[in-house]
């Protein structure tokens, strides 16, 4: 299945989906050294973002979150790709400066299709999410 979206940050990645229906803030809520979500009560609390295709509605929080994403990338614990319903500036900038492929505004509701562990391919050069 191919899903079309808007390209935010170009690139190509494959990986397992890690999905949250809740927004996520990277500043103070994700450990940049481990890639583990530490926000109390968040659906992803205790889970590692490292190597995953991170699917969540949108970011929230401080602009410093962009640099947390960059630090995660430098530490080798960043997601391999990011999918948002609608990108906001913090996550978009983080993906761009970290060279993490990112799409948003997909032509179907991915929250009704995807689940944790699904294998997907993100072609953020062409704006395509392929569900394996």
Residues marked as catalytic: 62
Indicate the burial class of 6 (C-beta count within 10 angstroms; 0-12, 13-18, 19 or more). Answer: middle
Write the DSSP string, 73-123.
Answer: HHTT-S-SEEEESS--HHHHHHHHHHT--EEES-SS-GGGT--TT-EEEEE
The full length of the chain comes to: 132
């Amino acid at each position: 299945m191919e899903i079309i979206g808007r390209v935010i940050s170009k690139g190509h990645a494959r990986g397992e989906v890690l999905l949250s229906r809740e927004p996520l803030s990277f500043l103070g809520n994700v450990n940049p050294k481990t890639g583990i979500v530490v926000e109390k009560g968040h659906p992803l609390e205790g889970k590692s973002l490292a190597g995953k295709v991170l699917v969540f509605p949108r970011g929230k929080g401080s602009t410093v979150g962009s640099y947390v994403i960059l630090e995660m990338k430098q530490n080798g614990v960043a997601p391999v790709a990011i999918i948002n319903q609608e990108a906001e500036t913090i996550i978009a900038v983080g993906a761009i400066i970290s060279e993490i492929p990112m799409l948003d505004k997909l032509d179907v509701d991915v929250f009704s299709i995807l689940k944790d562990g699904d294998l997907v391919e993100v072609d953020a050069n062409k704006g395509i999410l392929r569900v394996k």
